[in-house]
Amino acid sequence: MEILELIRSRRSVRSYLPKKITQKQIKKILEAARWAPSGLNNQPWRFIVITSEEQKKEIKNFTSDSHIIEEAPCLIVVFLDKKSSYNRTKDLMAIGACIQNMLLEAHSLSLGTCWLGEILNRREEVEKKLGVTEQYEMVAAVALGYPTDEVRESSRLNLEELILKEI
């Protein structure tokens, strides 16, 4: 599939089949994450990979997206490494690029993902539960698994609404 078609056909997946994913799939997705660009190549992203049902149960209580975490066989929690950070604005964009790589690689493997943000409302509690030090700030979590067959529609603003000027 061409990259533009891959980008356009990706959807957030909120319902997953009860089928485990493999370590090999997870490693491919993190390999895509690893090669994102960052300012000064500082690579401020870090990950915790959760596949334990018990651990997912503990985490899901911190978010209204609990059903997604419950169904998805894998949750990749994404952190900003404050020690590697040099500019918060640039580092957050770099992490966004890193997450997009993960979503696209997963989609190309016919896996579904959901980029979870609501969980940040209880960031400190989740960080404590995961036992990370203050060096790491949770900035997102990505649910991962085989999608059920529902394909959802999505929409975007037209290019005319996004381009402020052409000079």
Q: Which residues bind a copy of itself (CB under 8 A)?
A: 2-4, 6-8, 10, 12, 27-28, 30-37, 39, 41, 43, 45-52, 55, 79, 87, 89-90, 92-101, 103-105, 108, 115, 117, 120, 130-132, 136, 139-140, 154-157, 159, 162-167
Q: Which lies closer to a copy of itself via its Cβ, residue 17 or residue 93?
A: 93
CB of 149 to a copy of itself, least distance (A): 21
CB of 55 to a copy of itself, least distance (A): 5
Q: Alpha-carbon distance 164 to 161, whole Å? A: 7
CB of 83 to a copy of itself, least distance (A): 12
CB of 148 to a copy of itself, least distance (A): 19
Q: Alpha-carbon distance 154 to 26, whole Å? A: 26
CB of 147 to a copy of itself, least distance (A): 15
From residue 65, give the alpha-carbon distance in Å to each of 14, 72, 83, 145, 160.
9, 11, 30, 15, 33
Q: For the chain, first and last CA: distance in Å?
A: 33
Residues 112 and 64: beta-carbon distance below 8 Å: no
Q: Which lies closer to a copy of itself via its Cβ, residue 16 or residue 103?
A: 103
Nearest to 126 by CA among 63, 53, 49: 63
Q: Which lies closer to a copy of itself via its Cβ, residue 71 or residue 142?
A: 142
Strand partners, 63: none
Q: Alpha-carbon distance 122 to 150, whole Å? A: 30
Residue 69 — φ and ψ, nearest 5°?
-65, -35
Q: Which lies closer to a copy of itself via its Cβ, residue 18 or residue 131?
A: 131
